[in-house]
Structure 1
């Protein structure tokens, strides 16, 4: 439950802190949610890949 609250809080924070004049700002909440999920998936994928390729000698 706590993890869900953190994710939702982070989502709201990211949405409300978009730059007003930026051409990449997404003000449609449904589109923002879609792009947010893709970005989160990409971050998790890269983190997992980094952990797998990191070798301890």
Structure 2
């Protein structure tokens, strides 16, 4: 297992443990497998929403 995957799993587990308990907008997901599935979808959606343009312009 490489370091990147280990870090991603650690972030996902931390997110799972810090879920809001009684939030009607975002219900608690108890099953870890389902949480992992929804977490990956949410991660992809956030990546698609990010601005892909570079903040710096590299020229020589």
Shorter-chain TM-score bucket reads 0.7 to 0.9
Task: Report deviation, 1:19.
Answer: 1.9
**Larger RCO (CA within 8 A; separation ≥ 6):** 1
4+ aligned runs moved over 3 Å, structure 1: none
Gaps (5+ residues) in structure 2? none
Inter-partner Cα distance in structure 1 for 2:11 and 2:42 = 13
Gaps (5+ residues) in structure 1? none
Match of 2:45 in 1: 42
Give the alignment's Cα RMSD to 1 decimal.
1.8
TM-score, normalised relative to structure 1: 0.73
Instruction: Pick the structure with more helix per residue.
Output: 1
Match of 2:17 in 1: 16
Aligned residues: 52
